[in-house]
């Protein structure tokens, strides 16, 4: 290979790496991040988007370049070069994707752990067994473990029971015995939801929180999150649940603790003074 073309190739690869990373880091395809979970998710998204952009542009570049550079010109009747394989090259493009995959896997494990997804696994098994025995079939979503380890958190979790039915969500606040069609939560307050379905499988999804959990009849599930930005965000059913699936929506209202308490006290059947 002539020296000049080697330099061009090196420059192209560097440009691809920088360009891909820049696109991945700076092109925003996501809605605002309104929970602790969402900001962690966005870190992962940027990494995956960067790697994906580099791979995609690289492969498309190779294909388009090959098609133009090696197209059959008029008058050419000979065959291409008969290269059947190249072991070092094969090892290279087996090893590099394997390393990238391994990195992505480990990184997403770390992200998942930070979201609280691995808590049940890392928790000592005795606690886990106890919880399983007590609660029968509670299957966890993100942060499923923290039901058992709620003492670790500085702030007590706000328990909410979610009931899904065709075609609505009902939110029950056991502390004040409130039943609401909209979800009110105070900002920066860890929330622990127990979700149960009355009929078919539904799913609880808040895009701005980057969380989703199926709501399964006969198998209560749990989902924890901590909202970080005040506002009104859609709650969307993400699992086909019947003709009105598309209109099975609600709203989560993240508000300042003062406003939340006003709402809570106005609706609570029995007023509880928080310690």
Partner 1 sequence: MTISIPPDKKESIEGLQPKGWFRYFSFSLDHKVIGLQYLVCGFIFYLIGGALASAIRIELTSPISDFMARDIYNQILTLHGTIMIFLWIVPVVNGAFGNYLIPFYVGARDMAFPRLNAIAFWLIPPAGLLLISSYFINGAAQSGWTAYPPLSITSPAAGQLIWILSVLLLGGSSIFGGINFIATILKLRRPGLKLMQLPMYCWAMLGTSILVVLSTPVLAGTLILLSFDIIAHTGFFNPALGGNAVIYQHLFWFYSHPAVYIMVLPAFGLVSEILPVHSRKPLFGYTTMVYSIMAIVLLGFVVWAHHMFTSGTPPWMRLFFTIATSFIAVPTGIKFFNWVATLWGGRISLNSAVLFSCGFIVNFVLGGITGVALAQVPFDIHVHDTYFVVAHFHYIVYGGSVFVIFSSIYHWYPKFTGRMLNESLGKFHFALTFIGFNLCFAPQHWLGLNGMPRRVAEYDPQFTFINQISSIGALIMALSTLPFLWNVFHSAFKGTIAGDNPWLALTPEWLTSSPPPVENWEGPAPLVTKPYGYGKSTASINKATTSSKEVEGS
State which of positions 190-219 bind partner 1 (CB under 8 A): 199-201, 203, 205, 207-208, 210-214, 216-219
Considering the complex, what minimum distance in angstroms separates the CB of residue 31 from partner 1?
5
**Minimum CB distance to partner 1 smaller for 148 or for 208:** 208
Q: Does 133 bind partner 1 (CB under 8 A)?
A: no
DSSP alpha helices (H): ranges in 27-35?
A: none
**Backbone angles phi and psi of 264, in degrees to 5:** -65, -50
**Minimum CB distance to partner 1 smaller for 62 or for 179:** 62
Distance CA(260)–CA(267), nearest Å, equals: 11
Q: Does 80 bind partner 1 (CB under 8 A)?
A: yes
Contacts of 160 (CB under 8 A, 6+ apart): 171, 172, 173, 174, 183, 185, 191, 192, 193, 194
Only one residue has tokens 């900002």, namely 187
**Minimum CB distance to partner 1 smaller for 71 or for 269:** 71
Binding window for partner 1 (CB under 8 A); candidates: 111-119, 151-159, 176-184, 261-269: 111-119
Q: Does 74 bind partner 1 (CB under 8 A)?
A: no
**Backbone angles phi and psi of 72, in degrees to 5:** -75, 120
Size of the site for partner 1 (CB under 8 A): 84
**Minimum CB distance to partner 1 smaller for 25 or for 265:** 25
Q: DSSP secondary-structure letter at 208?
A: G
Binding window for partner 1 (CB under 8 A); candidates: 7-15, 74-82, 155-163, 185-193: 74-82
Binding window for partner 1 (CB under 8 A); candidates: 17-25, 54-62, 155-163, 181-189: 54-62
Q: Does 108 bind partner 1 (CB under 8 A)?
A: yes
| CA separation, residue 208 to residues 116, 212, 244, 258, 272 (Å) | 18, 11, 23, 22, 30
Considering the complex, what minimum distance in angstroms separates the CB of residue 143 from partner 1?
11
Q: Does 67 bind partner 1 (CB under 8 A)?
A: yes
**Which tokens sit at 83?**
């290269």
Q: Which of 71, 258, 266, 269 binds partner 1 (CB under 8 A)?
A: 71
Q: Does 155 bind partner 1 (CB under 8 A)?
A: no
Q: Which of 78, 124, 126, 270 binds partner 1 (CB under 8 A)?
A: 78
Sequential DSSP letters for 201-226: -EEEEEGGGTEEEEEBBTB-EEEEE-
- Coil, strand, or helix at residue 165? strand
Distance CA(242)–CA(246), nearest Å, equals: 9
Considering the complex, what minimum distance in angstroms separates the CB of residue 71 from partner 1?
5
Considering the complex, what minimum distance in angstroms separates the CB of residue 186 from partner 1?
23
Q: Does 52 bind partner 1 (CB under 8 A)?
A: yes
Only one residue has tokens 């209560």, namely 220
* Dihedral angle of Cα 119, 121, 125, 129, to the nearest 10 degrees: 80
Q: Does 8 bind partner 1 (CB under 8 A)?
A: no
Distance CA(73)–CA(253), nearest Å, equals: 65
Binding window for partner 1 (CB under 8 A); candidates: 83-91, 153-161, 180-188, 266-274: 83-91
């Amino acid at each position: 290979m002539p020296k000049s073309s080697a330099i061009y190739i090196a420059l192209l690869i560097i440009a691809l790496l920088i360009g891909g990373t820049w696109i991945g880091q700076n092109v925003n395809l996501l809605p605002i991040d309104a929970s602790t979970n969402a900001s962690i998710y966005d870190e992962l998204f940027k990494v995956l988007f960067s790697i994906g952009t580099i791979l995609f542009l690289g492969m498309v570049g190779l294909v388009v370049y090959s098609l133009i550079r090696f197209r059959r010109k008029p008058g050419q009747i000979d065959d291409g070069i008969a290269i059947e394989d190249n072991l070092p090259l094969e090892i290279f493009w087996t090893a590099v994707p394997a390393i990238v995959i391994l990195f992505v896997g480990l990184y997403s494990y770390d992200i998942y752990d930070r979201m609280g997804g691995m808590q049940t696994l890392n928790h000592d098994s005795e606690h886990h067994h106890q919880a399983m025995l007590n609660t029968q079939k509670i299957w966890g979503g993100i942060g499923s473990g923290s039901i058992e380890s709620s003492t670790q958190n500085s702030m007590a979790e706000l328990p909410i029971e979610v009931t899904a039915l065709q075609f609505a969500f009902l939110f029950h606040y056991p502390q004040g015995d409130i039943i609401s069609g909209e979800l009110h939560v105070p900002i920066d307050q860890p929330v622990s939801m127990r979700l149960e379905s009355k009929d078919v499988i539904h799913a609880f999804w808040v895009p701005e929180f980057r969380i989703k959990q199926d709501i399964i009849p006969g198998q209560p599930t749990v989902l924890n999150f901590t909202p970080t930005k005040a506002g009104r965000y859609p709650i969307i059913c993400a699992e086909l649940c019947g003709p009105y699936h598309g209109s099975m929506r609600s709203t989560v209202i993240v508000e300042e603790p003062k406003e939340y308490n006003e709402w809570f006290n106005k609706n609570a059947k029995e007023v509880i003074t928080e310690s």
